[in-house]
């Protein structure tokens, strides 16, 4: 029955994983979902040490079943994409957690292909519903956490991100293109002018610009960019600190 639930809800949850909705802002904090606690919430390894550990803990009062899978993470046409992979594996891929006990699982890069720059993956950790606890007439939903996993080659270059405004049909977006190898983590993203006016993309984590990739964020419908004057800048909180960089002057 657990297998049927996983199959039925996999499409919905894969979309949730792509948005990074369950990812916390700071990798040092454990992530919580239902009775499941996961730490750390980011794995950053080099190909010289191609193995990382994740600690799982059941903070509830009942045993829980957990499924773990790794997907290759790329960005295509300005959006995140997850695809199945055998290059990186997690062991064990399924586990039953006993309350108040720590379990360590390993995430291992097993391919012998040399890494180019930085490889990006997502570890999906699913807390599976207990069919015995489901009340009649209700729908049991899986709880998912999506953990970024990076394996870097020696000598990877730092992020080098340029920003521009683009338009596709009626949709206006802010595009970030990373010409470096290392990803850039983006939070509290906004476009500002020299007069203190700003167009905010909302507080908190907006996502990552992966190495040698581009990603887009749709401009907010309210408080449009047309009211900004003069030279424009992009501001954001990143894993390298606060950035304020010029925006391409071409406007949609």
- Domains of the chain: which residue ranges? 2-152, 161-246
What is the CATH code for 2-152? 2.60.40.10
The two domains 2-152 and 161-246 share their CATH topology (first three levels equal): yes
Q: Taking Cα atoms as reference points, which of 241, 149, 232 lies closest to residue 191? A: 232
Query: For 141-189, what is each residue's pLDDT tens digit?
Result: 678 999 999 999 999 999 999 999 998 888 899 999 999 999 999 999 9
* CATH architecture for the domain at 161-246: Sandwich (2.60)
pTM of the entire structure?
Answer: 0.84
pLDDT band at 199 (very low <50, low <70, confident <90, very high): very high
Flag the least confident range among 132-136, 144-148, 150-154, 203-207. 132-136
| DSSP 8-state symbol, 226 | G
pLDDT for the residue 220: 86
Burial 92-119 (b: 16+ CB within 10 A, else e): eeeeebeeeeeeebebbbebeeebebbb
Q: What is the pLDDT of residues 22-55, one digit of tens each?
A: 443 334 456 655 689 999 999 999 999 999 999 9
């Amino acid at each position: 029955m657990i297998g049927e639930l996983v199959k039925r809800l996999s499409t919905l949850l894969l979309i949730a994983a792509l948005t990074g909705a369950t990812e916390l802002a700071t990798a040092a904090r454990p992530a919580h979902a239902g009775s499941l606690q996961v730490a750390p919430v980011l794995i950053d390894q080099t190909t010289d040490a191609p193995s990382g550990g994740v600690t799982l803990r059941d903070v509830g009062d009942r045993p829980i079943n957990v499924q773990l899978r790794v997907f290759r993470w790329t960005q295509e046409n300005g959006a995140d994409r997850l695809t199945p992979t055998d290059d990186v594996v997690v062991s064990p891929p399924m586990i039953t957690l006993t309350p108040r006990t720590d379990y360590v699982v390993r995430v291992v890069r097993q391919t012998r292909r040399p890494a180019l720059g930085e490889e990006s993956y997502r570890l999906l950790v699913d807390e599976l519903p207990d069919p015995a606890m489901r009340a009649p007439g209700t729908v049991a939903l899986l709880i998912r956490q999506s953990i970024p996993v990076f394996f870097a080659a020696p000598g990877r270059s730092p992020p080098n991100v340029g920003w521009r405004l683009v338009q596709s049909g009626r949709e206006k977006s802010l595009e970030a293109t990373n010409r470096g190898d290392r990803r850039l983590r983006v939070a509290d993203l906004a476009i500002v002018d020299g007069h203190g006016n700003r167009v905010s993309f909302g507080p908190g984590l907006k996502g990552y610009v992966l190495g040698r990739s581009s990603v887009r964020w749709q401009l907010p419908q309210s408080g449009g960019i047309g009211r900004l004057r003069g030279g424009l800048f992009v501001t954001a909180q990143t894993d390298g600190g606060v950035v304020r960089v010029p925006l391409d002057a071409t406007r949609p």
